[in-house]
Structure 1
Amino acid sequence: MKDLTQGSIPKHLISMALPMMIGMLIQTLYFIVDLYFVGKLGSAALAGLSLAGNAMFLIFALTQILNVSTAALISHAVGAKDQQDANLTFNQSMMLSTVVGVIVCIIGYFGAQDYLNLISQDPDTVMMGLAYLHWFIPCMALQFIMVSISSALRGTGIVKPTMVIQTLSILLNIMLSPILIAGWGSGYAMGIAGAGFASSLSVIFAVVLLCYYFITTDKYVSVDFSLWRINVPRIKKLLAIGLPAGGEFFLMFVYMGAIYWLIQPFGADAQAAFGLGSRVMQALFLPAMAIAFAAPAIAGQNFGAQNYQRVRDTFRWSAIMTCSLMAIILLICLTQAELMLTNFSDDQEVILISVAFLQMICWNFVPAGLVFTCSGMFQALGNTMPALLSTATRLITFILPALWLSKQSDFQIEQLWYVSVATVCLQSSVSFYFLKREFKKRLPRDNLSNECSDELDKNKLIT
């Protein structure tokens, strides 16, 4: 367990974010390898990968319920020095993740084709997406166990073991991708199905290592099957914090699905281009998101310890770091978009649409950085409903104009990117407003005033 209620906040942010950032940068390489080999299979394969990959937003929504709530409750328990409460939260989270993972696996195999048919009219794209999903679903189901363990460790201030294991898993994925997709060394090319299979094998490897770590290492929390019996009050606490956060990712799944549905008339090339641009964008976001992901544990422990000024300082430093990284990414996309995309597809139409997408959408990167930071602070405070309302604002203000534009005779795909930029700017303003309101409600300044008064009294005594 690492005490984050003492010491330099920027130093804590960097020391926690750095391992995450390394892991995420390696994950960026995984995205690039996957895109490179699948992109060589043609635009239908790239579109199929993108549509199937969008289902991960639905999985993120479900895993986020456990991710946010587990980390928040455990960080509060650590701050309050209540190990028993932290252990109960962890074991209830593990029990829920096991049950939900099995359910997701069953629904995935039965509902994959219906989902793909809904958002694509191209039979080749649907066929490719289905081939990928059938091998990728085990990876989706096992995410829940991984999230419960990693969020518990993060809540106690420990990120290095998770980072090392995830890095090894991603490196395995990178090695397996060319072997399974293109048949390097084996002579048997699985095509797009190989990408899904490589992901599933690497996640199985990661889960085995995480379980081994928990069995062999002393930890602040540990697996105790006697605590796996349903504890209704604790589950209610987990859901109260986690459901709004999960709802936030579910709305992102709806948002991405809406874009794929709206651009259907432009063909498989447009869907492939949007998928390519989105994946590159998500990969670029990872370092900035590492800062935003580190902040909740620091702010959460200080909130649990009633160190309210340190909670405010955590937000300030996190916002500065995250938005600065996003500004750098903006400049990269404005100047180097074509260079980043050229190697992923031989289809010039796909590249042109992707370049236009990145060069327009990058104007929302800095506001998006502020949204990430605010969402992390809502998690730390144990109230994620404002983040859900903020995302809902973005979804509504995007979909209504987008639907109207799609009915116009001069509808162009670029109009969707302009609307998207405007709605993210609006979302960042809404998130910041909600966070200021939460700070006023949950972080009384009396605590700070008392500390200052005590310090003055000490100075008087010394004098």
Structure 2
Amino acid sequence: MKDLTQGSIARHIVTMAVPIAVGMIFQTLYYMIDLYFVGELGDVPLAGVSAAGNATFLVLALTQVLGVGTVAMISQAVGRKDRDEANVVFNQSLTLAAVSGLAVLVLGYLTTTPYMRSVAADAATVEAGRTYLFWFMPGLALQFALVAMGSALRGTGLVQPTLVVQLLTIVLNAILAPILIAGWGTHRPMGVAGAGLASTLSLVVAVIALWAYFRRLERYVGVSAPLLRPRLPIWRQLLAIGLPSGGEFALIFVYSAIVYWTLREFGSAAQAGYGAGSRLIQGLILPAMAVSFAAGPIAGQNFGAKLADRVRSTFSISAAIISALMVLLTLFVGWRAEALIGSFAKNADSIAVGAQFLRFACWNFVAQGLIFTCSSIFQGLGNTTPSLLSSGARLVTFAVPAIWLSTLPGFRIELVWYLSIASTTLQAIASVLLLRAEFKQRFVPGFVASGAGLGANS
């Protein structure tokens, strides 16, 4: 366990964010490797896997429910120096992860085909996406166990064990992807099915490795059979904190599904270009996301310790770091859009759509950084409803105009990208205003406990 209520906040953010960023970057390589080899199969497989990959946002939304609730409750317990409560929360998180993973596995297989039919441009794209998800679904179910364990460690201020496991997973996926997708060495290529299977096998190894760490090395929180028995009051607390964040991720899924829907008339090449561009952005913004991921447990521990000034400083310092990173990223993407998208999309039409998307999307980066920061601080405070409200406002200001415009004669793709910039900017403004209101409500006179740590706000 690492005490985040003492010392320099900036140093805590950097110390935690660097390994988180490394882990997330390698995690993105996990998807990029699949994307590269699938891209070699042609536009239809790429479009199918990209559209299917959007469905993973829905599963990420569900894992976010578990992860956010776990980080918030454990970090606040650590701040209060209540180790017993932290252990109860961790074990209940594991039980809820098992139940959730089983439910996703069953429902996923039942809904994969209808989902692909609703977003794909043609039957071949539907089949490619369906095949990929069929083989990847067990891996998606295992994400819950991985998130429960990783979130517990992050709540206690530790990120290195999760990083080591992620690196192991990436190496394994890098080995398996060309073997299973392209048939290297076996001469039996599985195509998109191999992409899904490679990811699933890698996640199996990741869960086993992290479970072994908890059984043998972790000392602050650990697996205890009596504590694994379901405790519904704890589940309700985890869900009350996590559900709004899960809803926030679900809205991202809806947002992306609407974009895919509006691009249907432009064919699979346009969907492939957007899909590749979206995946690239997910990878490029990871350093900024890592800073926000570090801010959450720092805010949570200090909130649990009743150190209001340090919570405010966590927001201002992390927002400044993220904004600086996003400005640099905006300049880079605007400069190298074609080269970036050309690494994955091979068709000229796909490259044109993807490059255009990247040039517009990069103007969202600073606003997205502020949204990430606000969302993480809300998580640390244990109230994630404001983040859901700001995401809902973005969806409304984007979805309704986008659907209407797509029905008009002469509809052009760039109109969707303009709407995206406007709606994301509005969401960022709403998030900051809601966080200021939350600070005023929570940090009333007398909230800050007397004691150490108040002088180390930088």
Bin for the TM-score computed over the shorter chain: over 0.9
Partner of 1:303: 303
How many Å apart are 1:440 and its aligned residue?
A: 0.6
Partner of 2:69: 69
Counterpart CA distance in 2 for 1:257 and 1:242 is 23
Partner of 1:207: 207
- How many positions carry a matched residue from both structures? 454
| Residue type at the aligned position of 1:98 | A
| Residue type at the aligned position of 2:104 | V
| Residue type at the aligned position of 1:337 | A
Partner of 2:224: 224
Partner of 1:140: 140
Instruction: Check the 8 A contact 1:52/1:116 in 2, yes or no.
Output: yes
1:11-30 equivalent positions in 2, closer than 5 A: 11-30=11-30
| Residue type at the aligned position of 1:319 | A
Partner SS, residue 201 of structure 2: helix
Counterpart CA distance in 2 for 1:218 and 1:251 is 35
Cα distance, 1:449–1:31 mapped onto 2, change above 3 Å: closer
Cα distance, 1:401–1:175 mapped onto 2, change above 3 Å: same
| Residue type at the aligned position of 1:22 | V
Cα distance, 1:449–1:115 mapped onto 2, change above 3 Å: closer
Counterpart CA distance in 2 for 1:100 and 1:151 is 16
1:6-405 equivalent positions in 2, closer than 5 A: 6-405=6-405
How many Å apart are 1:450 and its aligned residue?
A: 6.5
Partner SS, residue 430 of structure 1: helix
Counterpart CA distance in 2 for 1:211 and 1:103 is 21
Instruction: Check the 8 A contact 2:34/2:177 in 1, yes or no.
Output: yes
Residues 7-58 of structure 1: CA distance to partner in whole angstroms, max 9, x if unpaired?
1111000100111111122223333322211111111111001111011110
Counterpart CA distance in 1 for 2:41 and 2:50 is 13
Partner SS, residue 4 of structure 2: coil
Counterpart CA distance in 2 for 1:384 and 1:448 is 22
Instruction: Check the 8 A contact 2:90/2:221 in 1, yes or no.
Output: yes
| Residue type at the aligned position of 2:388 | L
Counterpart CA distance in 1 for 2:343 and 2:222 is 45
How many Å apart are 1:445 and its aligned residue?
A: 4.9
| Residue type at the aligned position of 1:103 | A
How many Å apart are 1:107 and its aligned residue?
A: 1.2
| Residue type at the aligned position of 1:404 | W
Q: Which moved more, 1:408-417 or 1:443-452?
A: 443-452
Counterpart CA distance in 2 for 1:446 and 1:89 is 28
Residues 394-429 of structure 1: CA distance to partner in whole angstroms, max 9, x if unpaired?
000001111111121011111000000110000000
TM-score (norm 2): 0.97
Instruction: Check the 8 A contact 1:31/1:283 in 2, yes or no.
Output: no
Instruction: Check the 8 A contact 1:136/1:196 in 2, yes or no.
Output: yes
How many Å apart are 1:446 and its aligned residue?
A: 4.0
| Residue type at the aligned position of 2:125 | T
> Unpaired runs of 5+ in structure 2?
none
Counterpart CA distance in 1 for 2:25 and 2:110 is 34
How many Å apart are 1:218 and its aligned residue?
A: 3.5
| Residue type at the aligned position of 1:169 | T
Partner SS, residue 185 of structure 2: coil
Instruction: Check the 8 A contact 1:108/1:137 in 2, yes or no.
Output: yes
Instruction: Check the 8 A contact 1:47/1:269 in 2, yes or no.
Output: yes
Percent identity, aligned pairs only, is 51
| Residue type at the aligned position of 1:437 | A
How many Å apart are 1:447 and its aligned residue?
A: 4.9
Partner of 2:424: 424
| Residue type at the aligned position of 2:328 | I
**Bigger CA radius of gyration:** 1
Counterpart CA distance in 2 for 1:402 and 1:334 is 24
Counterpart CA distance in 2 for 1:445 and 1:279 is 45
TM-score (norm 1): 0.96
Backbone CA RMSD of aligned residues: 1.5
Counterpart CA distance in 1 for 2:334 and 2:154 is 35
Instruction: Check the 8 A contact 1:308/1:445 in 2, yes or no.
Output: no
Counterpart CA distance in 2 for 1:445 and 1:405 is 50
Q: Which moved more, 1:382-391 or 1:221-230?
A: 221-230
Counterpart CA distance in 2 for 1:17 and 1:6 is 17
Instruction: Check the 8 A contact 1:398/1:423 in 2, yes or no.
Output: yes
Partner SS, residue 344 of structure 1: coil
Counterpart CA distance in 2 for 1:445 and 1:331 is 43
Counterpart CA distance in 2 for 1:207 and 1:136 is 15
Instruction: Check the 8 A contact 2:306/2:448 in 1, yes or no.
Output: no
Partner SS, residue 203 of structure 1: helix
Residues 227-275 of structure 1: CA distance to partner in whole angstroms, max 9, x if unpaired?
2222122111111101101110111111111111111111111111110
